[in-house]
Each structure stands twice: as structure tokens, then as C-alpha cells.
Amino acid sequence: MATKANIPDESEIVEYMTSLNNWGRWGDDDEFGTINFIGPEERKHAASLVKEGISVSCSRPITKTIYADTVSQVVHYMTGSGEGYSIQENPQLPENQQGSGDFIGMAYHGYNITHIDSLSHIFWNGQMYNGKPSSLVTTREGAKREAIEVLHDGVISRGVLLDAARFKGVDWMEPGEYVTPDELEEISRQQGVTVGKGDILLVRTGHHKRRIEAGTRPVSDGWPGLHASCLPWIHEKQVAVIGGDTVSDVVPSGYPNIKQPIHQVAIPHMGLWLLDNLNLEEIANACLERKRWEFMFTVAPLRVQGGTGSPINPIAMF
């Protein structure tokens, strides 16, 4: 297992931006990044994992409730309700058409809403993935390159859950606790599953379980997650997407100038897509019950023109 002694220093994390860089790997105009690891064969293999027809959501509920870790409240109000209708009215009359509607608005990037980050979400030195200038994301038009709409056909591949909290023998990991690449390898071995090309890798820290059972904490308290030293392992495995029950990064990161190295290396340099704030409790229980840690996994972002991501309800199928 990795120790503090072999954790890379900040200069080595910066070097990852070169050594793990995927710019030009799939062409200078590529906007898909590591999604290119998922082809027809990977999708067909994922479909072959469906044996029972059982589906499991990996999303948190979207709610306007304010929690200790809420940065921006969801706006949800009704544009029409059922309160004004009478059972005496004849709904067959055109003027008596009955129904309801609502408005929902949110800033989904952050620490509450389950979402996917597009490759236009994070910049480094004024550049996003494939060396495109950050100025292509404008206040007026949003992302003119690498917007979430490039995934309009969805992402379907083999999902793999590595349960770090269970591996460590805890209900949940505490803020600042991290998962190392050696631990990812050992969890894979213990669970009898191998992470490979085109996989959607989910890592459970138990953070959402803690939110439910022990209550939420302010964002300033930090959260558990992957250590940046996991990035070469993820790169070598040719993982297409990573997701966690926090924002993937451990916080505090341990580096004075790189606050979220998973985001800052993975998105603009590796072209690696991230799923944040997943609910991995039900899927963890489903996997444990079956002693099976792989499944078909589907992510269908909203087709938001110019969007730097999207709220999602990812679905695992057994």
C-alpha cells in the first residue's frame, strides 16, 4: 500500500500535465478526449453484462433544500399547480384543460448536484483540452468548443465500482483522507475485477452515506477522494470516465498551488471526463449482494448548447 513517502510532490503533479497529456492523440480537433476509448466493441461488451434486467440510479435527488455544503440553492417553483381545480369541473371542455408545470434552475457545478463535467469546464494557463484557448468559452454563448452537447448520443460502457470505504473497513472516509493507486490495485484484486480500456470507473468513499446518516458539513471542511497520484494509473488503464461520491479530488489536496489536481490534470490535459457527487450507496449494495463489481453503465447528459456540463441521472444495469 502506498505511503506518504512515495506521494509525488507538486512539481511531479505539474509534470503529469505533460507525461499524461492526450492533446493530438485523436486529432487536433478532437472534442471527445478519453471517450474515444469507448467504441462499438466496448458498448456491446457492456450490454452483455445485463443478465437480470435490474437498473440502479447513481444520482442524488435534486432538491431546493439548503444543506451545510450547499453553495448555490436550486430554484424550483411551480408555473401551474392542481390547487385551483374543482372536481365539479368538466375536464373534457377545452377551457378546462387541467395540468401542472414547473421551473427548475440550478448551478450544477459544485458539491451537491450529480453532474458530468465537459472538457470546457477547467482550464490551465488559459487553455482547455487539446490546446484550445479558454476564450472559446464566452459569457454570451457559453462553450463554443468541447461543450457537453458533443455527448448527445450518451455514454454507454462497462462500469466498475471500487469500494474504497469497504476496503478500509469504515462506513465512510473522512475529509482529507485519500485513495492511492496501490489501493485501487488492491481493491481491484480483492473484488476480483480488472479495470480496463473504455471503462467508467466509480470509486466509493462513503461520503454520501455520511451526508445521509451524520449530516452535511461546510465545504471548507473538505472531503475524501482520489489522490492525484492515481492519475498515471488511470491513464495507463485507458479509463474513459471516472466518477465519485464527492468531486473526485481529495480536499485539501496537500498542494499549495493546485487545489484540485484531479480536475486540473484530468480535464484540460488528459481529456478525461468526470462525474461528480454520485450516490454510490445503492450500487455498492447491489454489487456486494451479487459479489459482482461490473455492470453496464449509462450516462445521458442534457443537450445544452454551450454547456460546460450537465446534471445527470446515471444508470447501472445488472
CA–CA dist 42, 260 (Å, integer): 30
For strand 241-244 and strand 273-276, is the pairing parallel, antiparallel, or unpaired? Answer: parallel
For strand 225-226 and strand 178-179, is the pairing parallel, antiparallel, or unpaired? Answer: parallel
- CATH tag, 4-68+108-317: 3.50.30.50
Show the cell assigned to 295: 455492470
Residue 92 above 90 pLDDT?
no
The residues facing 317 across adjacent strands are: 55, 296
Q: Where are the domains of the chain?
A: 4-68+108-317, 75-105
For strand 137-138 and strand 315-317, is the pairing parallel, antiparallel, or unpaired? Answer: unpaired
For 237, other C-beta atoms within 10 Å of its C-beta total 20
Q: Per-residue confidence at 2, pLDDT binned at 50, 70, 90? A: very low
Q: Are 213 and 206 in contact (CB under 8 A)?
A: no
DSSP letters spanning 26-80: TBTT---GGGGG--HHHHHHHHHT-SS--EEE--PPP-----TT-SSPPEEEEEE
- Per-residue exposure over 178-201, b if at least 16 CB sit within 10 Å of its own CB, e if not: bbbbebbbebbeebebebebbbbb
Q: Per-residue confidence at 289, pLDDT binned at 50, 70, 90? A: very high
pLDDT in tens, 248-263: 999 999 999 999 999 9
Q: What is the largest CA-CA distance in the chain?
A: 76
* Residue in the block written with cell 482550464: 123
Is pTM beyond 0.85 here? Answer: yes
Q: Per-residue confidence at 1, pLDDT binned at 50, 70, 90? A: very low
CA–CA dist 64, 106 (Å, integer): 9
pLDDT in tens, 194-247: 999 999 999 999 999 999 999 999 999 999 999 999 999 999 999 999 999 999
Mean pLDDT for the stretch of residues 104-110: 97
